[in-house]
């Protein structure tokens, strides 16, 4: 498979993925329904998830995918209760329930990735939705056919323009600063369980054309317990065009210590488009979390930036407050809201993994 067909290159010229802190039209979410994702803990998940929906809806519209009418009724009731307890009952009007069947809830990884037109002909759409292939994180789990069809189903529902990209890619594997730089990891995107027929150069070329990037910055491995082979959204995130916030482990005996130190050294060596080092900020990892003997990928890097706020996972420990203070400093003018994630992370993901933004289009373009 070529890195990107010539006709796709032509259609994508002049488009760029906005950074997460750019204004959003809405957030996509999927109501949890796959009991295998949280074995032994599923009953606790919908109430926690409803509180996460409520946290996001106070800042921006939510488009919540449900499998059927019964799921929509249950979800509406639980979200309404969560909003009422938070004194925000009227915010329920911002939550739209969209009947589209899915296999699972991790829409960050199978939902559409929206790019905006920054240059080019005025007849071109203001936005394009990119539809990458989704193969259940390298074929690790059960059927993913419904998840893989979500971008097309959403495009049909909302009438936006969709481009199918032949490469396998999950949204959690990339992060952009909106100014030509893209962060990712070797352990995920170079893993043969995604795109065995593509070279590193071909993957880079595809990333640059699809997301309007000039430079791809590669980190190494992901954190222990991450079944995605090392998604960037558990390791390091852009906080602005020149700032990268990354997680660090202070205990040399922890298996995350060496790999996060290696990633920190790689980050320190990076340069922006002007040849300047990035400003590197850090988030302390929470204490190691286990459930039934399994190390969980708990990370404060799995935060989600919304209009006027930052929604972050919390794990019931003293590092929660430290992480919230760092994020409040890095995102001035935005309110930091925590979502209890001790149960969510048993599904091997948290807030960012469960969300996907639909950015607002660029005004006047």
Q: How far apart are CA 21 and CA 23, in angstroms?
A: 6
Higher per-residue confidence, 9 vs 341: 341
Q: What is the mean pLDDT of the chain?
A: 96
Question: Are the beta carbons of 297 and 224 closer than 8 angstroms?
Answer: yes
Please say if 317 is a catalytic residue.
no
Q: Where are the domains of the chain?
A: 6-359
- What's the confidence (pLDDT) of residue 365? 43
Question: If you classify domain 6-359 with CATH, what class do you get?
Answer: alpha beta
- What's the confidence (pLDDT) of residue 27? 98
Q: Mean pLDDT throughout 288-298?
A: 96
Catalytic residue among 188, 210, 317, 353: 353
Kind plus residue range of the DSSP H or E element containing 116: strand 113-117
Percent of the chain with pLDDT over 70: 98
Question: Are the beta carbons of 131 and 164 closer than 8 angstroms?
Answer: yes
Q: What is the pLDDT of residues 306-345, one digit of tens each?
A: 999 999 999 999 999 999 999 999 999 999 999 999 999 9
Q: How far apart are CA 88 and CA 306, in angstroms?
A: 17
Helix/strand/coil for 281:
strand
- What's the confidence (pLDDT) of residue 9? 87
- What's the confidence (pLDDT) of residue 121? 66
User: 11-15, 51-55, 180-184, 191-195 — which is least confidently predicted?
Assistant: 11-15
Q: How far apart are CA 222 and CA 297, in angstroms?
A: 9
Q: What is the pLDDT of residues 67-122, one digit of tens each?
A: 999 999 999 999 999 999 999 999 999 999 999 999 999 999 999 999 999 887 67
Q: What is the pLDDT of residues 166-208, one digit of tens each?
A: 999 999 999 999 999 999 999 999 999 999 999 999 999 999 9
């Amino acid at each position: 498979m070529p890195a990107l067909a010539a006709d796709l290159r032509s259609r994508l010229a002049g488009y760029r993925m906005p950074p997460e802190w750019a204004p959003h039209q809405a957030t996509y979410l999927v109501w949890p329904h796959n009991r295998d994702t949280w074995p032994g803990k599923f009953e606790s998940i919908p109430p926690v998830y409803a509180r996460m929906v409520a946290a996001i809806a106070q800042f921006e519209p939510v488009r919540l995918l449900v499998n059927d009418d019964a799921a929509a009724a249950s979800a509406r009731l639980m979200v309404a209760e969560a909003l009422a307890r938070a004194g925000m009952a009227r915010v329920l009007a911002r939550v739209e329930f969209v009947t589209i069947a899915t296999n699972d809830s991790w829409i960050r990884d199978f939902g559409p990735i929206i790019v905006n037109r920054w240059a080019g002909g005025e007849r071109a759409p203001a936005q394009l939705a990119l539809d990458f292939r989704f193969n259940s994180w390298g074929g690790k789990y059960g059927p993913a056919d419904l998840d893989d069809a979500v971008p097309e189903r959403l495009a049909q529902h909302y009438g936006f323009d969709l481009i199918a990209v032949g490469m396998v890619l999950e949204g959690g594997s990339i992060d952009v600063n909106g100014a030509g730089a893209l962060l990712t990891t070797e352990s995920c995107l170079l893993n043969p369980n995604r795109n065995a027929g593509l070279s590193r150069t071909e993957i880079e070329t595809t990333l640059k054309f699809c997301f309007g990037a000039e430079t791809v910055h590669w980190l190494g491995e992901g954190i222990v317990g991450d079944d995605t082979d090392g998604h960037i959204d558990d390791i390091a995130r852009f906080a602005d065009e020149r700032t990268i916030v990354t997680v660090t482990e202070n205990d040399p005996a922890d298996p995350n210590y060496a790999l996060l130190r290696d990633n920190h050294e790689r980050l320190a060596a990076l340069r922006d488009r002007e040849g300047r080092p990035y400003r590197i900020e850090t988030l302390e990892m929470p204490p190691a979390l286990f459930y039934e003997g399994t190390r969980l990928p708990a990370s404060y890097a799995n935060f989600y930036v919304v209009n006027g706020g930052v929604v972050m996972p919390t794990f019931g420990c003293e590092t929660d407050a430290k992480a919230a203070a760092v994020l409040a400093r890095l995102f001035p003018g935005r309110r930091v809201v925590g979502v209890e994630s001790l149960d969510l992370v048993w599904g091997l993901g948290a807030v960012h993994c469960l969300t996907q933004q639909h950015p607002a289009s660029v005004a006047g373009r």
